[in-house]
Homo-oligomer: A and B are copies of this chain.
Amino acid sequence: MELGIDIGGTNVKFGVVDGLEIIYKCEIPTGAKRQDTEIVADIITECKKILAKYDKIEKIGIGSPGGIDSENGVILGAANINFRNTPICKMITDATGIPARVGNDANCAVLGELYAGYGREYKNLILITLGTGVGGGIIIDGKPYLGTRGDAGEIGHMIINCDGEKCGCGQDGCLEAYASVTALIKQTKKAIEENPDCYMAKHAEKIGKVSGRTSFDSMRAGCPVGAKVVDSYLGYLAIGIKSIYQIFRPDAIVIGGAISNEGEYMTKPIIEKLGNKNVLVATSRLKNDIGIIGAAKC
């Protein structure tokens, strides 16, 4: 039995993993702007509570954004969380007596998909995670491929439109600038500005925000403006998926991240645009649990 900890910018998720199943789940706020010692202290408190309930836990696995030194159990630094050379594994093991490992969250997601998702059936699999950015993971011949320095799979920074949108990374026209949830929200806001009287504009006003769901929900309510945003967004995503297919000719391309809850509303149009039945295109079966399971197995 393992305790998987998925550290995010907003929440830290905990899951007790028995085999491939999560038998207990909870979460706490990250408080990402605080000192790293305070963040880890809260994580340790929660670990202790869970360990008191589940005495068969033999390992704690942690997934964190940012640069990770897995060998020494240190989070080197993360963009949105106040970690800086934080020896998180030693801190947790010292406090709990349980051995701990830490890995990069994108790499953990790949492990989750490998051990508990489509990776159980498909040997060559590419995972595309859509969120604030676009991440990726590569499974080759049933094993995660991490590259020589452990940082491979930056699928979001594949260039799909070399004369196009500036990406946060400095390059022009990255997939991330078109297919992240951040990009979808931007595309949705632009459509609302241009069509202030459409259903989507009113819907967004009513719920008080624009999210990654706004265009999908509006499309399902029959709004043509919402449908157009979704179609264009999935068009960009399909371009990235086409390139991935050409390079890897894999068995499966799996879409992860919260937006993958849209399920067939995403995959059906993408499969149509791809026009190729030699590859499975699907949303991850693990949904948001992928990070916990992956962390547990890291």
Interface residues of A (CB under 8 A from B): 123-124, 136, 138, 140-141, 145, 147-149, 151-164, 171, 173, 236, 239, 242-243, 246-251, 278
Contacts and interface: CB of A to CB of B under 8 A. Distances in A.
Contacts of A136: 247
Contacts of A247: 136, 138, 152-155, 158, 247
Contacts of A236: 162
A72 B3 CA distance: 50
Nearest to A163: B161
A158 B162 CA distance: 12
A157 to B, nearest CB: 4
Nearest to A123: B148
A239 B148 contact: no
Q: Which of A123, A147, A161, A246 has the most CB of B within 10 A?
A: A246
Contacts of A145: 140-141, 248
Given A152-B248, A154-B246, A155-B246, 19 more contacts: A124-B147, A140-B140, A145-B248, A147-B248, A148-B249, A151-B249, A153-B249, A154-B247, A155-B247, A157-B246, A158-B246, A158-B247, A159-B239, A159-B242, A160-B160, A160-B162, A161-B161, A161-B173, A162-B239
A148 B121 CA distance: 13
Nearest to A152: B249
Given A124-B148, A145-B140, A158 B249 contact: no
A234 to B, nearest CB: 13
A280 to B, nearest CB: 11
10 contacts: A136-B247, A140-B145, A147-B248, A149-B278, A154-B247, A157-B243, A158-B158, A159-B160, A161-B163, A162-B236
A240 to B, nearest CB: 8
A266 to B, nearest CB: 18
Contacts of A243: 157-159, 243
Q: Which of A136, A147, A151, A242 has the most CB of B within 10 A?
A: A147
Contacts of A153: 247, 249
A236 B158 CA distance: 13
A249 B159 contact: no
Q: Which of A153, A159, A247 has the most CB of B within 10 A?
A: A247
